[in-house]
Amino acid sequence: MTVTTQQSDLKLDGNAIGGLLREIFTMEMTTAEGTCANCGAVHAVGQVVVYLNAPGAVVRCPSCDHVLMKIVQGRGRYWIDLTGVRVLEFSA
């Protein structure tokens, strides 16, 4: 995504995975709110920390840095680890 390799530059936010989450959930998800399973903080998906330099997307809590989600995509499949999210709430 960027030319330099500083860790801070690789750090993005939930807006960057809006398209990926739309593929999976078929809904606009950056306004969805997730509760961190570790610290209980509630954040909009647009606010969470996202790293795309891993093989897939790693999503972390902006309050405690705990991993909220991991999403890997390949060979026509998705692998979604949601163990770090206690609740994901969004409008129907």
Give contact residues for other proteins (rule: CB under 8 A). 1-3, 8-9, 11-16, 18-19, 22-23, 26-28, 30-31, 44-47, 50, 52, 91
Indicate the residue among 23 and 65 with the shorter CB distance to other proteins: 23
Amino acid at 58: V
Cα–Cα distance measured from residue 85 to residue 35, given in angstroms and rounded to the nearest whole number:
6
Smallest gap, in angstroms, from Cβ of residue 84 to other proteins? 19
Smallest gap, in angstroms, from Cβ of residue 21 to other proteins? 9
Q: Each residue of 56-75: b (16+ CB within 10 Å) or e?
A: bbbbbbebeeebbbbbeeee
